[in-house]
Each structure stands twice: as C-alpha cells, then as structure tokens.
Amino acid sequence: MGKTLAEKIIAAHAQDVTDVSAGDLVTVRTDVVMANDITAPIAIESFNAMGVEEVYDSGSIMLVPSHFTPNKDIKSAEQARTLRQFADEQALCHRFRVGRSGIEHVILPERGLVLPGDLVVGGDSHTCTYGALGAFATGMGSTDIAFAMATGTTWLKVPETMRFVYHGQRQPWVGGKDMILRTIGEIGVDGALYRAMEFIGPAISALPMSDRLTMANMVIEAGSKCGFMPFDDVTREYVEARATRPYTAYFADDDAQYVSVHEFDLSEMEPQVACPYSPDNVQPISQVKPEQVDQVFIGSCTNGRLEDLAIVAGMLEQSGREFHPDVRVIIIPGSQAVYLDALRAGWLELFTLAGAAVSTSTCGPCLGGHMGVLAADEVCVSTSNRNFRGRMGHPDARVYLANPAVAAASGILGRVAHPDEL
Amino acid sequence: MKLEGKVWKYGDNIDTDVIIPARYLNTTDPVTLAAHCMEDADQSFAQNVQPGDIMVGGRNFGCGSSREHAPISIKGAGVSCIVAESFARIFFRNAVNIGLPILESPDAARDAQPGDTLSVDLVGGTITNQRTGQTYQASPYPPVVLGIINAGGLVPYTREILGIEITG
C-alpha cells in the first residue's frame, strides 16, 4: 500500500520501526525544535524541572523572540532575557536578537534553517507553516518542547491525510490566503482535526512559495496536525538558494490512502474574507457587508513576506491614492530581511507617505500583544490568521481576515472593500 | 483516582485566546493566569470556580494557539478535570503533560448541564452525572499518554525514562 507524505517523513525519523501507517504511535527524531518568547520560558522551566543538564543538540534548537518584541513591557523583557540566558548557558548555535531577526515562521524558511523532509516541532501552533517546504512540521506546547530539547525526540500519532486538489486559473487578487480561507470555510475549524492536509493540483504547481507558506501556515485553523505542499521546481529554487545543510525530498505515492479528497475550482473564486469571530466564517468578498474599518493590519507569519508587501505597494502606485484618513494602517514586515528589501524597493517610503505606520518586525497586533491592540467595537481588516473573540484586543472588537490586496483596498477606502473598487 | 465536581459548561471551539488572552502571556505564574481564565467568555468563572469543579466543553475544545498557559490557567483555577466532545490536539497534549486530567466523551459532554455534579473515575475512564444517574465511558488513552498520566505529567515521566533522580 502506498504512503502519504506524513507517513514517509515520520517513517524516516522513527525510532525502532522503518514502516509506519496512519494510527501508529511512534517515537521520532526531531531535526529542528523551535520556541518563542511566550512558549520558551515555560519550556525552559520544564526542561530545568526534568533535571536535564544539556540540550540534546545545540545546533537544532531555535529560540526566537518574536511575539512581544521589541519588548513591550518589563515582564516581556524578562521573558526574552530568559531565552537569551538559556541560549548562552546551552551554547545554542543559532541566535535571534531584535534587529537581526523577525517572526519565527518567516525567518526559519527564509534562512534555510528548516528544509524539505525535516521533522520540526515548534512551541507555536503556526509551526505548520514549514509544510510549504515539504517538511513535517507541527505545533506543540512548552513541555513537549522541553522533552524534545532534552532528548531530540518526540512521540506522535501518525495522522490520516486529507487531500485538497486545486484546479483552474487564479483570478486577479486571489492568492494562497484566499485558497486556504475558502478551504477552512468548507471543512470548518475542526475539519482536519488530528489529520494532515496534502495540497496538490495544477493551481498549486503554479503557486509561488510565499503563497504556499501562507496556505500551510493556516492549516492549524482547520485543526490540522500538519500540511504539505508537494516538492517541485518552486520548492527546489526556493530552498537551494538558502539551505544550510543537505535535505531529502519526499513524494506521496500514487496509491497512498487518503481519508477524503476535496476539489476546488479557482476559475470562479473571488477574494475570500473570514468574518468575525472564526476563521471558518468565510464569505466571498462580494457577500461581505462593506463595514467601516478603524484599523488595517498587514503583516504576520501569514502575510508578512516581501510578496505580500509588493501587492500593497503596487496598489498604491497604480491608484496613486493614500490610505483613508480615518483608518490606522499598520504595516509590519515579517523579518529584518523583508524590511530591508522593502526599504530598498522604496516601499516603506511609499507606505509612510500614504499614511501607514511601518514598524520593525514583530507578531505584535496579530495576537493583541502590542503595536495595534483594538478597542471595544473597533473593526479591523487583518492579513493574519485568527479572528477569535479577543484575539487582537478587546473581546468586542471585530476582525476580518483577508489577503493583503483586500486589506490595502479596505485601508484606502475606509471600509471592507474589493481591490477592484480602487 | 476519583474526582467529583460541579460543571462549568461551555460550547464548541473554545479557543485558547478565550481561555487565556494573550495580554496575560507576559507571565507564566499559574495564580495570575488563573485569575484571568475564561474572562473574555465568562467573567464569573474565575471569581466563582471552586476547587474540584469540572469544565465541560463541546467540540474542538482548546483550539488555536499552542500556549500551555491555557491548561495551566484552568488547572490553576482549581478545575479537577475537563470533559469535552473532542479536544484540539495541542491542547490535549498540553493538558496531559501538565497533569490536568482530560476526558473525551461526546455524550457526557452534551448531556451535562451547568451546575450538574459529575463523578469521574480516572482509572476506569468513567463519568457519572449525578443528576441523571447516567454513566459514560470516555475514549481510552493511547499507551504513551497513559504512561505520562500515570507518571503525573511529562516532567516526571521524562525523569523516569531518563533515569534522573529527584534531588534537593
């Protein structure tokens, strides 16, 4: 019987067994163990409580301060310091300081630190982003991360896999964000619970890496354990410029077993919006009420890459317009490298002249941390990944999740808007 | 081990942002986290929860962020056990890892009403609703999960498997 990508990558990392199937419980080797400034402090507490003295491999542990950095208050500063002290004590090879860093899920792929065929566990639910490269990558909590730091292993139940096939030509203003929102809207926030999601089809083959990262990033919003893009020329081109070590590409077998197959035709799909208060409350933009907005946020591990900012810059240049005077537009490049590239392209000046606040990289407003927390009853169009009640601030604030083009159009027109309205 | 407690009933897709909002994630202190547990959904919870009370959820309980602060805040509030129709996978692991009992039983979760008293037998995996007298069998744990539960959480389990003695 053929194997899925999840089965193949887990089998290649399994201890004691060489063949695994969905449902098996296995112990696996980890290639990369990641945690951030919120999850690492508890992971470090647990690691110390375990009585372990040294991490399993100082080269594979990556502690990335990203959520409340640059430190938003004293307690956050102390949490970030905990990461630095642990990295010093354990002589970790990779360091991620403010000014040389960014959002973990932007910088780890960008720097070739996560690679195809890797098995990655991260103390952040959006660790699944790396599935865009063909890695098995899944989010875990802090104590699981402590165990992986101590032993270089974790336990997993091999997931069943759902397959998602995308046909047809993408319409203008439609990208990976719309494809994954539509998918989550179809299957629901627990539609892939405990399962893996494999994405294939001609529209995936034609999809640039930044859009693939956006799609894989949000599989957790369907409850999924991990998601996979196929390894192809797009992957190879992205990875070969960056890889810091050798990697292995895996391919699903033609006769692999899938629990379900879902087909999507993009030829009629317009930009999609997830309305308050759930990522599966998805409507095509033409069906969304053009509500007035108070804030627009463009950034995050979902849509904080250079290609996302390029869309916004292109719209400002072509329309010659500024952002609406009543809207706070906050644009946050996802990494120092994205910031620098956007700066050199002249886009940060363009955004600033158009009336946007442009910040150094942080997760910031996505989780209501800082740099754009919402007040009661405020409305925000955000390119991030969650619009749960209270996610970006006050529980009565209302967040619409959308792609960067819809966010920019909404920022310009002052209401939820289709980019074609410019 | 047997538990008994009053039910705090919540719905489907209770996410970790609702369980403990990110504005409180600049601390790892269980007491501080417990004081804000569920406050965006139910302000009365943290004020009125009694030690031993049982939280009951619908489908996909604990979805969203991987923050271990979520089960820590629930455990810190004194909740003895969570029963739900289903759990999000990261939350399930986190609860097991910190030694917070967690049982999946769609019927028990659906039938429980606010204020009901549930008796839970963790060894047998049974849940009894004292109001109706009905007893439910929870989904069995996989062996590795049972091992972690029996050790009292992932920290003591790790010490056991690595042969690390507790000192001091």
CB contact under 8 A, B88 and A75: no
Q: Which of B12, B14, B17, B100 to mutate to test the interface with A (most CBs of A within 10 A)?
A: B17
A191 touches chain B (CB under 8 A): no
pLDDT at residue A386 is higher than 60: yes
A388 touches chain B (CB under 8 A): yes
- Measured CA distances, A173 to A315, A337, A409 (Å): 11, 25, 11
Buried residues in A139-164 as b, exposed as e (16+ CB within 10 A): bbbbbbbbbbbbbbbbbbbbbbbbbb
Nearest to A235 by CA among A136, A308, A134: A134
Chain A partners within 8 Å of B155 (Cβ): 46, 49-50, 143, 146
Cα B62 from Cα B70, distance rounded (Å)? 8
Q: Which of A25, A33, A190, A401 to mutate to test the interface with B (most CBs of B within 10 A)?
A: A190
Q: Do domains A5-263 and A274-421 have the same CATH topology?
A: yes
The beta-carbon neighbor of B89 closest among A73, A194, A368 is A194
Chain B partners within 8 Å of A125 (Cβ): 64-66, 90
What DSSP string runs through A296-339?
Answer: EEE-HHHH-SHHHHHHHHHHHHHH-----TT-EEEE--SBHHHH
A302 touches chain B (CB under 8 A): no
pLDDT at residue A334 is higher than 60: yes
Peptide bond into A258 cis (omega under 30): no
As given in the structure block, the two tokens for residue A36 are 């951030």
A37 touches chain B (CB under 8 A): no
Cα A171 from Cα B41, distance rounded (Å)? 39
CB contact under 8 A, A391 and B27: no
Chain A partners within 8 Å of B139 (Cβ): none
Q: Give the pLDDT band of residue A1 (cuts 50, 70, 90).
A: confident
First-last CA distance in chain B: 28
pTM exceeding the 0.95 threshold for the entire prediction: yes
Which residues are registered as beta bridge partners of B83?
B56, B103
B133 touches chain A (CB under 8 A): no
Q: Chain B: give the shortest CA distance to residue A369, in Å.
A: 6
Query: What local confidence, expressed as pLDDT, does residue A238 receive?
Result: 98
Residue percentage of chain A with pLDDT more than 90? 100
B166 touches chain A (CB under 8 A): yes
Question: What ipTM is given for this predicted complex?
Answer: 0.96
Query: What local confidence, expressed as pLDDT, does residue B165 receive?
Result: 82
Q: Average pLDDT of chain A? A: 98
Using DSSP's 3-state secondary structure scheme, residue A377 falls into coil
Query: What local confidence, expressed as pLDDT, does residue A111 receive?
Result: 98
Query: A274-421, what's its fold?
Result: Aconitase; domain 3 (3.30.499)
Domain locations in chain A as residue ranges:
5-263, 274-421
First-last CA distance in chain A: 53
Side chain identity at B76, as an amino acid letter?
Answer: G
CB contact under 8 A, B162 and A49: no
> CB within 8 A of B168, min separation 6: which ones?
none
CB contact under 8 A, A143 and B97: yes
The beta-carbon neighbor of A390 closest among B27, B40, B88 is B40
Residue percentage of chain B with pLDDT more than 70? 98
A312 touches chain B (CB under 8 A): no
Q: Give the pLDDT band of residue B1 (cuts 50, 70, 90).
A: confident
The beta-carbon neighbor of A141 closest among B59, B94, B158 is B94
B140 φ, ψ to 5°? -70, 150
Give ∠ CA B151-A48-B141 in degrees, rounded to 5.
25
Other beta carbons within 10 angstroms of residue B126's beta carbon come to 17
Region of A229 on the Ramachandran plot (φ > 0 left; ψ -120 to 50 alpha; else beta): beta
User: What does the pLDDT look like over B8-66, one tens digit per residue?
Assistant: 999 999 999 999 999 999 999 999 999 999 999 999 999 999 999 999 999 999 999 99
**CATH 3.30.499.10, domain A5-263, yes or no:** yes
Q: Do residues A264 and A179 make contact, with C-beta atoms less than 8 angstroms apart?
A: yes
